[in-house]
Amino acid sequence: MADLQRDRTVHSQRGYDFGMRFAAWFSNVMVSDHIPRLAEPAGDTTGGGTQATQHLTLEPFDEAQPVVALGWVNCASGLAKLRTFECLAELHWRRFGRQPFAVDGDPYRAFFEKLVSFLKEEGMKIDVETDPPEVAAVASRREGAPGRAKHAWIIAAVSVAVLAALAVVAFLVLRR
């Protein structure tokens, strides 16, 4: 375990130490040409643990590929949240459409199992996200519902209402 730095708080030091152990466990792991990374604590203090979340990502060798955000850990609360391959694939489809997802299922699942073992050994309580947030909105778009177009109509209608109200106010002011 690393020596406690004079300027790090207890929660920040826990996050830093956790990151060192994570790096040791996963230093030789590759997931479809991606390197597992754990973000360092936000700084020397975490605000009593309120800012202790450290994000877990897969960073690609190919800089043209997006970084994959697979979850987070919080050493202050002892909680971790991880996304399954299916969840990540759905998020990728939602964000990038038909662009191929550069992470393969089998290597990710093997990494996921190793990551779960590591987190359990560290005493973390793990929440697994199997579906991305707002799945209903994505499903309705797949079925042909007017996802973005619906929002554009709402914005247009509100804009017209605001302009009409301004015109009435201008008319009343100029009428005097």
User: pLDDT digits over 15-31, tens only?
Assistant: 778 888 888 888 888 89
Strands (E), 19-98: 34-38, 53-60, 68-74, 79-83
Domain that holds residue 167: 146-176
**61 plus 96 within the same structural domain:** yes
Please indicate, yes or no, if residue 151 is contained in any of the structural domains. Answer: yes
Is the distance from CB of 79 to CB of 2 less than 8 angstroms? no
**Cα–Cα nearest to 80, from 105, 54, 112, 58:** 54
Residues 112 and 171 in one domain: no
Answer yes or no: do 169 and 96 share one domain.
Answer: no
* Residues 62 and 124 placed together within one structural domain of the fold: yes
Q: Which pLDDT does position 140 carry in this prediction? A: 47
**pLDDT average, residue stretch 145-168:** 70
Tokens of 89: 């694939």
- The whole-model pTM stands at 0.66
